[in-house]
Amino acid sequence: MGGGQESWALWSASRVKEDNMKKLIGVVAIVVFGVVGCGGGTTDGPPPVKKLRFALIPKSLDIPVFDYARIGGERAAEELGVEVIYRGPDKADELKQKEILESFITQKVDGIAISVLNADFLTSTIDRAVEAGIPVVTWDSDAPKSKRLAFYGVDDYQSGLVMGEETARLLGGQGTVAFITSLGANNLQRRMDGARESLAKYPGISIVETYDIKEDSTRCQELIATGSNRYPNLGAWISVGGWPVFSANALEPVPATTKFVSFDTVEAALSLLRAGKVQVLLGQKYFGWGGESIKLLHGIINGQMPTNPIIDSGVDVVTAENVDAYEAAWKAIEGKS
């Protein structure tokens, strides 16, 4: 029973006492029974358990692969009996992402899982959440210098090595390469580092330019057209994020002689692979971004700390030779109830 109700009952009892002691007994009885009804008395069962609330924050809502993270998170939430709040900036905006993270700290959610747009920019806010008693895990893109408790995603450096080796194979060890990235994201920088290390082993391959897409898929076609005009004999593009393959249009300026290696395996990307516009795709565990992150938070809340804070989900290398098998496996996961 609330404080206002209790004050009202005492005031009423006092007034009745002045008029009639018998009426006071009745009022006291009513108040006592009211307290029991409000939960103040003995009950047969245990008190209701608070439903845990976890925040799932993507880099932005307009990047299609993050919707699979939402689905994975919702599936895990239903399995565990918790609530997942999926919220991120409409478009990639590190300041907006920070505001969303801060709002969840203020709401005192029970845990936060976030794909970090800019690791340096968000580290202090992540630390503040952990210091406030809210466990934080990262997925897809890490903030390794922060106090986050775990990271779930691909080994970005190793994935970059794969991208570099696949590109060198396609070029036969000779040619020019341009990169597409988004500066500031830890995961993308690590992929770049790995790809550059791989390519450095091939003296016949040179890197001509790196284009910053700023996590904006709509800039893809413009930047790719600019690069294709500047380097008409470009051997290959390496995109360390999936922006160019999220739609069929971005690769229209690419000449048939130029190879393309990209992250991400959405449906449009598989179609581009079959059409010969892309030669190699690297797929991630998109449903696991949400599902495994929510399970991590639930375990942490219940005293089960991960034995290794870096959880490598593994990466899928998809080519024309295995695309049919990959798509069949994907559809089986996507259609899971």
Q: Are residues 94 and 202 in the same domain?
A: no
> What are 312-336's pLDDT values in tens digits?
999 999 999 999 999 999 888 887 5
End-to-end CA distance of the chain: 42
Position 318 in a domain? no
- The whole-number pLDDT of residue 19 equals 43
pLDDT at 6: 35
Report pLDDT for 286: 96
Question: Within a domain: residue 133?
Answer: yes
The predicted pLDDT at position 115 comes to: 98
| pLDDT at position 46 | 66
Q: What is the pLDDT of residues 107-129, one digit of tens each?
A: 999 999 999 999 999 999 999 99
For residue 327, tell me if it sits in a domain. no
Does the pLDDT of residue 23 top 80, yes or no?
no
Between 247 and 31, the more confident residue is: 247
Q: Do 118 and 260 share a structural domain?
A: no
Range of the domain at 200: 156-283
**Mean pLDDT along residues 209-224:** 90
Query: For the chain, what is the domain count?
Result: 2
Residue whose C-alpha is closest to residue 102's, from 92, 90, 89 = 89
Of residues 160 and 247, more confidence is placed in 160
Residue 44: CA count within 13 A, CB half-sphere: 0
Instruction: Write out the two tokens for 170.
Output: 């396609």
Mean predicted confidence (pLDDT) in 38-52: 64
Confidence label for 17 from pLDDT (cuts 50, 70 and 90): very low
- The bridge status of strand 150-153 relative to strand 136-139 is parallel
Looking at the chain, which runs of residues are DSSP E strands?
A: 53-57, 83-86, 111-114, 136-139, 150-153, 175-181, 205-212, 236-239, 259-263, 280-283, 310-312, 316-318
104 and 147 within one domain: yes
Q: Note the pLDDT of residue 16.
A: 37
Are residues 164 and 272 located together in one domain of the fold? yes
Sheet holding 175-181, edge to edge: 205-212, 175-181, 236-239, 259-263, 280-283, 316-318
Can you tell me the distance from the alpha carbon of 26 to that of 110, in angstroms, rounded to the nearest whole number? 45
| Residue 4: inside a domain | no
178 within some domain: yes
The strand pairing partners of 166, in sequence order, are none
Tokens 């939430």 identify what position? 77
Is the same domain home to 168 and 145? Answer: no
* 101 and 204 co-located in one domain: no
Query: Does the pLDDT of residue 7 top 70, yes or no?
Result: no
At residue 2, φ and ψ (nearest 5 deg) are -75, 165
Contact 297, 113 (CB under 8 A): yes
Shared domain check, 211 and 168? yes
> For residue range 61-110, what is the model confidence (pLDDT) as tens digits?
999 999 999 999 999 999 999 999 999 999 999 999 999 999 999 999 99
Per-residue pLDDT, 49: 73
Asked if 192 and 251 touch (Cβ cutoff 8 Å), the reply is: no
Say yes or no: 173 and 143 in one domain: no
Whether residues 160 and 275 share a domain: the answer is: yes
- Domain CATH for 93: 3.40.50.2300
Percent of the chain at pLDDT > 70 equals 85
58 with 170, same domain? no
Q: Is residue 11 part of a domain?
A: no
Local confidence band at 139 (pLDDT 50, 70, 90 cut-offs): very high
Q: How far apart are CA 144 and CA 151, in angstroms?
A: 8
Higher-pLDDT residue of 86, 22: 86
Same domain, 270 and 216: yes
Q: What mean pLDDT is reported for the chain? A: 88
Predicted pLDDT at 218: 81
Residue 185 belongs to some domain of the structure: yes
Q: Is 301 part of any domain?
A: yes
How wide is the angle at C-alpha 265 spanned by C-alphas 334 and 280, nearest 5°?
145
**pLDDT confidence of residue 106:** 98
Q: Would you say residue 177 has pLDDT above 90?
A: yes
Residue 29 has pLDDT above 70, yes or no: no
Residues 57, 148, single domain; the answer is yes
